[in-house]
Structure 1
């Protein structure tokens, strides 16, 4: 049997590897976040940006004003989710994108694109709810993907620190990788690595309100959204594990 023909100039060349090893869903979500911020900063003028934040940022004060004018509350139908696609600056965006790449990737590889996006959006809404609980009358806006990213972090914590499970193939005797088991909430805090990561993450975010006392200035970090999103993802991921298994 003759050997397959090679393309001219291809002899001795190793197969090309992709530049980015990210799952397509993560790349697409990052692309959407970047595209929206590019449009907001390079296409819209100052008045346009103000309107963008007015209609798509999450503002808890709308809940208070709703009894007086129900039309004020209409954006509450989408702003608990849409705020996650807006950012206040490139530094804000890049930090969220970096965190998203790290923790969305294992979630996508384990559950798929749909569950990853569901966790991201529901966690963003949970973060908005936590922000509203502490900022109802402040008039502050919430923007940024950090609540949704925190949810993906909470979801990933349930399995990325667990030991890899193996089985023996019944015919060949070869060791087969089964993957990592989803930990219970108790097991998250029993495992030293997941416990350390979770406690450090929680303490750092819970300490943000104390920044003015220690540093004399606010950090401008929506710690409430981080905590709300994290716990949403931590709890929600079990719904997809049953389908996964």
Structure 2
């Protein structure tokens, strides 16, 4: 988290607010995405950019080409994760960074930086797997943080729409806010707010491959990665949940 510069303290002056209200881990991850794209566009020439895509984008065709040349499959070790740090343009990057800021923030605040990053990376890999299932022999490649961001969206959907849990202190009787419960998958779809959000998100992404029937053009959106990442994040977030302790009595 970045703070504004501080001058000499003045008695009675209001405390300065931080420039960014995002958790530090979210700010760093967003900064890494921006820095990589900035470097790839300003430093690399067209040939270097092609090499960057070749070695770090996820290419499903490598899976079946491995039978002919095992060496060509080596990038499959890291590209299910590294593709999430590459973007096709500034518009692609900025949309993903904005979505990351919105949904990585509650996940990082609830579970910490490590859990947020694990969900992001594993969801990116799950998105790559879903992408490969539909494009194995198409010769296309996958780049962008969308799968990882979709996973954080799915994870946040499990709790951001739930009511706040409140308990009473055993000695003072005062209300103590415990936070929001982690809903089960069933509860996500019984709570009206989370149900509508999840269904709209899933339906819109599932409808993307049918849009060319109406528009005549392909949007080039990896909807498979969105769906795979979202489902992975929604299922995985429970691994990081810890029971909320009851308010302890005063000593």
Q: Pick the TM interval, shorter chain.
A: over 0.9
Quick check: 1:120–1:151 contact (8 Å CA) kept in 2? yes
CA shift, 1:38, in A, is 0.4
C-alpha separation between the residues in 2 aligned to 1:169 and 1:242? 20
Q: Which residue of 2 aligns with 1:47?
A: 47
User: Number of paired residues?
Assistant: 239
In structure 2, the residue matched to 1:3 is none
Deviations 1:39-87 (A, max 9, x none): 0000000000000000000000000100100000000000000000000
Alignment of 1:182 onto 2:191: no
Q: Aligned partners of 1:172 and 1:232: how far apart in 2?
A: 42
Determine the C-alpha separation between the residues in 2 that align with 1:166 and 1:208: 41
Say if 1:132 and 1:9 are closer, same or farther in 2 by CA, change over 3 A: closer
Quickly say closer, same or farther: Cα 1:9–1:51, change in 2 above 3 A: closer
**CA–CA distance in structure 2, aligned partners of residues 37 and 8 of structure 1:** 38
Query: In the superposition, relative to structure 1, how do residues 244 and 99 fare at CA in structure 2: closer, same or farther (>3 Å)?
Result: farther
Structure 1 position 165 matched with structure 2 position 178: no
Does 1:147 find its partner at 2:143? no
> Paired residue for 1:4?
none
Tell me the alpha carbon deviations over residues 180-236 of structure 1, each in whole angstroms, 9 at most, x when there is no partner. 000000000000000000000001000000111011111110000000000000000
SS of residue matched to 1:207: helix
Q: Is 2:60–2:141's contact at 8 Å kept on the other side of the alignment? A: yes
Counterpart-to-counterpart distance in 2, 1:24 and 1:65: 41
Deviation at 1:170, TM superposition (A): 1.4
Matches within 5 A, 1:75-114: 75-114=75-114
CA deviation vs aligned residue, 1:5-43 (integer Å, no higher than 9, x gap): xx9661331011101110000000001000000000000
Paired position in structure 1 for 2:240 = 240
Segments of 4+ moved more than 3 angstroms: 242-245
Which consecutive unaligned segments of at least 5 residues does structure 2 have? 1-6, 246-251
Distance (Å, rounded) in 1 between the aligned partners of 2:187 and 2:9: 55
Bigger mean CA offset, 71-80 vs 8-17: 8-17
Q: Residue in 2 aligned with 1:67? A: 67
Gaps of 5+ in 1: 1-6
**RMSD between aligned alpha carbons?**
1.3
CA distance 1:165–1:58, shift in 2 (3 Å): same
The answer to whether the Cα contact below 8 Å between 2:178 and 2:244 also exists between their aligned partners in 1 is no
TM-score by length of 1: 0.95
Q: How far apart in 2 are the matches of 1:67 and 1:220?
A: 28
104-113 vs 169-178, which deviates more? Answer: 169-178
Q: Does 2:186 correspond to 1:194?
A: no
Shift of residue 171 of structure 1?
A: 1.6
Paired residue secondary structure (2:178): strand
In 1, distance between residues paired with 2:230 and 2:94?
Answer: 19
Whether the 8 Å contact between 1:212 and 1:218 is mirrored in structure 2 is yes
**TM-score (normalizing by structure 2):** 0.93
Equivalent residue number for residue 20 of structure 2: 20
